Structure 1
């Protein structure tokens, strides 16, 4: 059996993981689609949890041609989301874990499937000094479930992927982290979600033996 090295870094997804922002994204997306005469159900929006805009748009356009160009669609949804960002709240317990991980000496960064404008606004809302940087969908050629973003984050930290833990709320993000070779923790908000192979699926991150994973347990 292959043993992992001690965890040295934690990579966080943002939307739905650090922030309870997915409902805000869904409402913005539904509103903009409907404003262009494109009917998108709430179920449609939920089915693309964790999916990046390019993949989401391509799927919708394949089903029925979108009446608005991709870039204009993204910008409009982003503008609508940012208008309401003051109402976005942290996910319960997430910020406390960021501080606890810092206390364990772990480095931390974010890997998001959202565009750079959303990521930067989210980071300003989070305002936690322990998060060193964030990789956005605009920083990579391929978004989640491709592992490119997670591999880029590990490279920027100078930490091998196998010494990183990734925390995700969606199957799409978990697949990306797992493909990058990271210890993958699913922390979903929706109990119906089906995950492929992950190392841990938890209702709360305190269920994970972090000192044991980091090799710091007395």
Structure 2
């Protein structure tokens, strides 16, 4: 039986991935670099360190990793008010909270971005403690696809990993959830994404029999 639901944030609770990509493009263009639109899927769900390595391999970056990360965070946080929730996501969080289901967020983004996102989510839901906390990439030694982020979240909630359900939009995040031994739901925004085996691959949150997880 599932005792806790762990949500990814970017692309899952919030339709924020286009805004993250926009921040990368804007910062790179400000320093004379071009990031092609075709890089969107390639960078989806990756940590800033991975993004930097991939961009730098394609064309040497004029910024180092900390400078790129800080500039992208500045751009994103300044525009976080424009980031919409993903359709049905926050309603499902509120519904589960009303049923007393433990929930938390597990992100591959840095702490500053996670705090901005989490604040926006809490303001929208207007339910204290609906989401107990939000883990960032800065809170773990190994980010997704390593299982550590989800295992750390389960530990903080006091729930065995096998009693946790993960909702992810990216193959990298889903890999992390499965590696942690959790029931993993892939809810991608892009049909072109290819996932390793997951427990459920859905197009809409309503495609799941949610009550069955908690019986």
Give the TM-score normalised by the residue count of structure 2.
0.94
Residues 26 and 46, structure 1, Cα contact 8 Å, conserved in 2: no
Instruction: Mark the runs of 5 or more structure 1 residues left unpaired by the alignment.
Output: 1-5
Q: Which runs of 4+ in 1 moved over 3 A?
A: none
CA distance in 2, matches of 1:170, 1:110: 15
Give runs of aligned pairs for residues 27-38 of structure 1, distance below 5 A: 27-38=22-33
Q: Determine helix, strand or coil for the equivalent of 2:38.
A: helix
Structure 2 gap ranges (5+): none
1:52 aligns with 2:47: yes
In the TM superposition, residue 37 of structure 1 has moved relative to its aligned partner by 1.9
1-structure distance, mates of 2:86, 2:40: 20
Post-superposition CA distance 1:16-69 (Å, at most 9, x none): 110011111111101111212222111113311111101111222233322111
Matched residue, 1:203 = 203
Whether 1:185 aligns to 2:196 is: no
- Number of aligned residue pairs: 210
Segment drifting more, 117-126 vs 95-104? 95-104
Measure the CA separation in 2 of the matches of 1:195 and 1:44.
18
Give the corresponding residue for 1:159: 159
Offset at 1:104?
2.8
Local SS of the residue matching 1:156: helix
Structural mapping, 1:73-112, within 5 Å: 73-112=68-107
| 8 Å CA contact 1:19, 1:89 repeated in 2 | yes
In structure 1, distance between residues paired with 2:52 and 2:101: 36
Given that residues 12 and 86 in structure 2 are in contact (C-alpha distance below 8 angstroms), is that contact kept between their aligned partners in structure 1? yes
Q: CA RMSD in A?
A: 1.1
Pair 1:123-2:107 in alignment: no
Q: Please name the residue that 2:194 is paired with.
A: 194
Q: Does 1:113 align with 2:108?
A: yes
Q: Deviations over 1:153-175 (max 9, x none)?
A: 00000001110000000001000
Inter-partner Cα distance in structure 1 for 2:17 and 2:63: 23
**Separation in 2, partners of 1:184, 1:212:** 15
Partner-residue secondary structure (3-state), 1:166: strand
SS in structure 2 at match of 1:153: helix
In structure 2, the partner of 1:172 is 172
Match of 2:140 in 1: 140
Distance between the aligned counterparts of 1:209 and 1:86, measured in 2? 32
